[in-house]
Amino acid sequence: MLLGDAPHRDIVILVPSTPDSVSFDQSKLLIISASKESAPQLVVSAQWEKRKSFNLAEEGVREKFAADFYRLVPPQATIELLSYSFKYFKGYLDPDTLKFGYTDTLSIRGLWQKKEFAELAKTVQKQSDASEVVIYLRGWMDSTYAATYDDPNNDARTLYKLHVSLLPGANAIYFSSPGQREHAVSFVTTTALESKATVDRGYLFHNSALEQSCTTCHEGLPSADSGQTMNADCNVCHKELKHSTFLHAPVEMDECKSCHSWSKERHAVVVEKGVPTACYDCHSEKQQQVESSSSLHPVASECLTCHSQHGTQRDHLLKADVYDICTSCHEDQKMNHPVGRHPLRYAKLKNGEEISCVTCHNPHGSNFEKLKRFPGGRMDICTQCH
């Protein structure tokens, strides 16, 4: 149906039909063809991550560390990476890392039995005068899917339609039949923080001849309307956009046409006004802030560098944690900013919020130098908390 000839391998990725190394959204639509006999169900291993800071100065934290660590790992998950860093008076140590390949990934029980974990737990509980330990975990979460459709071109095969959530950065997704992890088929993509106009993305369904062929049976797609209107219920295919914890209002209210339109000239779905104009239609206060600031952030008007236009798992529709977004450009500020040993994350402010780059800097623009939120010199910022 999609490749012309029926596939012969047990599991074949049909969509995306070519290697796609960059994703500009935090989810991916995939269509998989599988043999009914050798792959009656499909196991999808998508990536997950957790990051937690343990304040070792608090009463009981050291004693409960092992149990609290155990609870960081979700059910049905395996561990690819464990990274941890201790904080002493002079700052954080370089992180220690344990890493495992896909077929070698560990369950939490397997990691529990590793001597490296025993040493970590022992250091936390008894031997360390550190004030904090930061844990980062990354791995794969397995989900088992039943067939979505029969393959109209091959009675021996079935089709799966999947929406897979992506992490910021590199993602490796694996597809296998139950119990056949060593024979998994992989798909690799990198979620980029920058944005790219929808119409300029390669291999996108609405930009392709594939969409035009689908309209012979499915009415309501843009090209089925001869390019005049955009009447399709986008939720039929894009259900994953509503799975996020925080949703952009047009997504939540099914108002896709408030941003998107069909371009008859380009035969594609476009954001006709572009960014930031489309964003400023609703967020005029941000436009005023960006255009009236004397201290300008170079990406302040490139809204989709930091924010998702549909939805994310983070407040303010951020694509990643503030620290990760900022240091993706400002790598030289990852440590010792603005002075040695000053925390850039995890520490709590007086109001209970976590400190971050935006505690002192306004990412949309400021009338004070270096995007500072407060007037005066460095000490004037310090006295806001101290």
Backbone angles phi, psi at 223, to 5 degrees: -70, -20
Tokens 């067939």 belong to 147
Q: Are 98 and 116 a contacting pair, CB within 8 Å?
A: yes
What is d(CA 360, CA 337) in angstroms, rounded to the nearest whole number?
11
- pLDDT higher than threshold 60 for residue 369: yes
pLDDT 10s digits, 151-169:
888 899 999 988 898 998 9
The pLDDT score that the predictor gives to residue 8 is 67
> Do the bridges between strand 27-35 and strand 157-165 make them parallel or antiparallel, or are there none, so unpaired?
antiparallel
Q: For 75, which DSSP code?
A: T
pLDDT exceeding 70 applies to what percent of the chain? 94
Q: How confident is the model at residue 3 (pLDDT cuts 50, 70, 90)?
A: very low
The DSSP code for 370 is G
Would you say 77 and 49 are in contact if contact means Cβ atoms under 8 Å apart? no
| b/e map 316-348, b = 16+ CB within 10 Å | ebbbbbbbebbbbeeeeeeeeeeeeeeebbbee
Q: Is the pLDDT of residue 142 over 60?
A: yes
147 vs 56, more confident:
56
**Confidence band of 2 (pLDDT split at 50, 70, 90):** very low
